Structure 1
Amino acid sequence: MNYFNIAIDGPAGAGKSTIAKKIAKKLGFIYVDTGAMYRALALYFLRNHIQANDRESIEKACQNVDVIIEYKDGEQLVLLNGENVNGLIRTEEVGNMASASSVHKTVRLKLVELQQKLAKSANVVMDGREIGTFVLPNADLKIYMTASSKERARRRWAELKEKGIESDINEIEKDIIERDHRDMTREFAPLKQAEDAVLLDTSHMSIDEVVNTVIDLYNKKISN
């Protein structure tokens, strides 16, 4: 059976995750939470007392890890070697390990392998920096979602304000521009628009408008 894969790429703050989750819900697809997968892997390292800078041990450990994302009664389940680790991967310790260990190419390649495996077993929506160019180069529908750095900074500022956190919108925009540069110039799987991706600038679009646009593109694909 052939499954339909939707790849959404774009820079930080473009709204990829928000849109991807809504599209997955509307279509009944699995939203592949790549961040949760990195955290599950990090939990495995912590449980096995592996340091983030111990490349040799991390490479060895990656051979013994399986991470799957499933949905049961509408809830996302992150399974680490068959164990539901939902309640264990959101701690600061796991988050720090995920961030520190993800610099290793082996970790990224392991996650890519697992993500590709998921895409072959279900209809999925996956978002990130290199989904359409590297993880799922044969995705049925590819979207490159972006917005101006000013608009992305405004969204982040509003998000922080809602949480009661004061921030400087100019500093946020500066950080976003620097992150864009890092993502686009990194040696391994840099951020770029796939040749067959649809460019979607969301600067002046509401969430519903973006979701409806992607759903329309999906409907055109399946009717061809």
Structure 2
Amino acid sequence: MSEVQILSLSGNRLSDTIPECVGNCSKLRQLFLDDNNLVGVLPESLNIENLVFLNVSNNDLNGSIPLGSRNCKNLIVLLLSHNNFSGETPPGLGNCSSLAILGLFENRFSGKIPPELGKVKSLVFLLLQANQLEGRIPAELGLLEELSSLDLSENRLSGKIPPELGKCESLKILSLYKNQLEGKIPDELGMLSDLRYLKLSFNNLSGEIPHIVA
């Protein structure tokens, strides 16, 4: 199978671990293993730096993202949602210069959101909801001019909503509910002319409702 470029096994009842031999597919560009019953970790042999599309969502996988110092400049879509992945979100994701969709939601990722994600100018969907992320929302996310959907809800994020998010001129969905955010709602969110969905409920926000929101 060394010549295989696309491997799609989605929506089956596959179980056990992802075999190390997947790493032998040196020309593999797209890997779809979503909606199965897979367990264990992502194999270290996986040539993630060569992949364009990786979807292993809706399984029972665990461990961390085996990114290390590898430069995944080809990766456009990374979907790991609905698993049991844990550990910190790797700062190395900031080197995935082509990444458009990052879906890590409904896992057990902890620690802070890496500010390095602000370097990924191609990001359109950043979906990190329903994890155990803590600390402040990085102001660097305001550099993501192509970002259409930002969902950080159902985490343990604290501090203020960074006004820099008002610079995400393509943002249509902003969901920050069920965190521990405080302070006022930034007036700068009024700069988001394309915003269609804003959910900030169940935080510790205070002050007046800005005219731009009301």
Structure having the higher strand fraction is 2
Q: Which structure is richer in relative contact order (CA contacts within 8 A, separation 6 or more)?
A: 1
* TM-score for the superposition, normalised by structure 1: 0.29
TM-score by length of 2: 0.30
Which of the two has greater helix per residue? 1
